[in-house]
């Protein structure tokens, strides 16, 4: 995929490119059969509905669910909102006395904000810290659930900044022991690590198309049927998706998500092996350029494509990125990279602020080539040296102003 003058994309946590096979699968549903899958009175509508149901089967198969347990949404942000607020509001309407909603400090903002929003509706949000390696302390979770009746535990599968993989089977077992619902945001996990809703005892699981080489604007929510998990919908409308998510089903996007899940189910282990090879090659090359380069959240299991790297020498990640404009990486989560604040995830690890500001997130993906990782390592190494030289050469006041 390397072309002259084309930037090198190592930001596959923010989003992934659409797999050409996904694009090919979607195309007829834009061009030839554009019918509304709800228009079951006519042939085109019924064909679109069938394509949607095929896709639902592929999504379900990727996570060990039944097709009837999959709802289509606009993405993981919506799935997380629907899971957390929907479960809480339904339980509230039933007069629940379980008011705690427990999550992690390193969750995606859409989970943290959904949980915090519930405070205004009478719930008690509890945001647990993580250990320095980014993992949840399971004893702390156990103690938190033992202390007060808990409605819902929401723990992400794979972190979008530091790539660490939580022990979901252990989290699910603890949640069930205390009678709580278990939701997991698996946006970064699908297609990267095996997922099985039965094995981890999940009641709710969120997925996103554009994190697994599918299209943007489509996602899914797994909703357990046995025993049945009930939600209050966020939207009023035409009653699609069993009344839980009204709105015309975007058949082309759903077909794309289905194809992305089908490919992931078959190729995830191959992807992970190849991507781990590229990661090792990249890290070895960059370490040779940048002595003292350090990995954040080292020691925890992580997905193959992730590196959260703290650069030495007192320069910021932003300075390095400015000096390497051909390399697309990230200083934190994409959603907050416009802010000057260091990322809440790196803060939650307890990293000193200077180290958090000197951290680059690298996301290697299915389409990253060996040539690209070589070029990126060389470019980032040179950029790091330039950033240091610039600091040393800058008037004293200027270096201070960038702190």
Ligand X SMILES: *Cc1c(COP(=O)(O)O)cnc(C)c1O
Binding site for ligand X (CB under 6 A): 75-77, 108, 110, 156, 160, 185, 187-188, 208, 211, 219
DSSP 8-state symbol, 242: G
- How remote is the C-alpha of 101 from its chain's centroid? 20
**Angle ∠(40,221,65) on CA atoms, nearest 5:** 85
Q: How far is the CB of 80 from ligand X (least distance, A)?
A: 6
Instruction: Quickly tell me which residue has 């282990």 as its tokens.
Output: 269
CA 340: distance to chain centroid? 22
Smaller CB distance to ligand X: residue 335 or 378? 335
**CB of residue 302 to ligand X, shortest distance in Å:** 14
CB of 206 to ligand X, least distance (A): 7
Catalytic residue IDs: 335
Least distance from ligand X to the Cβ atom of residue 75, Å:
3
Is-contact 312 292, C-beta < 8 A? Answer: yes
Residue 117 CB, shortest distance to ligand X, in Å, is 16
CA distances to 130, 199, 279, 291, 368 from 358, in Å: 21, 38, 20, 14, 24
Nearest residue to ligand X, using CB? 75
Beta carbon nearer to ligand X, 219 or 332: 219
**In this structure, are residues 75 and 216 in contact, taking their beta carbons and an 8 Å threshold?**
yes
With left for phi above 0 and alpha for psi between -120 and 50, is residue 119 left, alpha or beta? alpha
Residue 201 near residue 182 (C-beta atoms within 8 A): yes
Q: Which is nearer to ligand X, 145 or 212 (CB)?
A: 212
Q: 150: which residues sit within 8 A by CB, 6+ positions away?
A: 98, 100, 101, 102, 144, 175, 178, 179, 180
Our CB check for ligand X shows the closer of 108 and 183 to be: 108
């Amino acid at each position: 995929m390397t072309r002259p003058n084309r930037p090198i994309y190592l930001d596959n946590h923010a989003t992934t490119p659409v797999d050409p096979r996904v694009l090919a699968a979607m195309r007829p549903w834009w061009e030839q059969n554009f019918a509304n899958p709800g228009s079951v009175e006519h042939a085109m509508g019924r064909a679109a509905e069938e394509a949607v149901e095929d896709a639902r089967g592929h999504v379900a198969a990727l996570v060990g669910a039944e097709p009837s347990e999959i709802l289509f949404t606009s993405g993981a942000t919506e799935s997380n909102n629907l899971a957390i607020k929907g479960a809480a509001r339904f339980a509230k309407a039933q007069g629940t006395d379980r008011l705690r909603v427990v999550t992690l400090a390193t969750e995606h903002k859409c989970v943290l904000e959904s949980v915090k929003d519930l405070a205004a509706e009478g719930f008690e949000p509890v945001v647990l810290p993580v250990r320095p390696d980014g993992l949840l302390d399971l004893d702390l979770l156990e103690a938190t659930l033992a202390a007060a009746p808990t409605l819902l535990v929401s723990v992400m599968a794979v972190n979008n900044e530091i790539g660490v993989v939580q022990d979901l089977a252990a989290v699910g077992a603890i949640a069930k022991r205390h009678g709580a619902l278990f939701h997991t945001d698996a946006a970064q996990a699908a297609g990267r690590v095996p997922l099985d809703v039965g094995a981890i005892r999940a009641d709710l699981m969120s997925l996103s198309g554009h994190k697994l080489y599918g299209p943007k604007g489509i996602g899914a929510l797994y909703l357990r049927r046995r025993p049945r998990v009930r939600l209050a919908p966020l939207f009023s409308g035409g009653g699609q998706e069993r009344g839980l998510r009204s709105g015309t089903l975007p058949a082309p996007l759903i077909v794309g998500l289905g194809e992305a899940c089908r490919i992931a189910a078959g190729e995830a282990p191959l992807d992970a092996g190849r991507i781990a090879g590229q990661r090792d090659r990249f890290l070895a090359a960059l370490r040779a350029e940048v002595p003292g380069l350090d990995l954040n959240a080292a020691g925890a299991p992580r997905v193959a494509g992730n590196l959260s790297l703290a650069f030495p020498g007192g320069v910021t990640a932003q300075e390095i990125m400015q000096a390497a404009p051909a390399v697309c990486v990230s200083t934190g989560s994409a959603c907050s990279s416009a802010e000057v604040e260091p990322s809440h995830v790196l803060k939650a690890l307890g990293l000193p602020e200077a180290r958090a500001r000197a951290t680059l997130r690298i996301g290697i993906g299915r389409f990253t080539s060996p040539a690209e990782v070589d070029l990126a390592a060389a470019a980032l190494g040179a950029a790091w040296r330039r950033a240091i030289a610039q600091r040393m050469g800058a008037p004293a006041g200027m270096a201070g102003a960038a702190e």
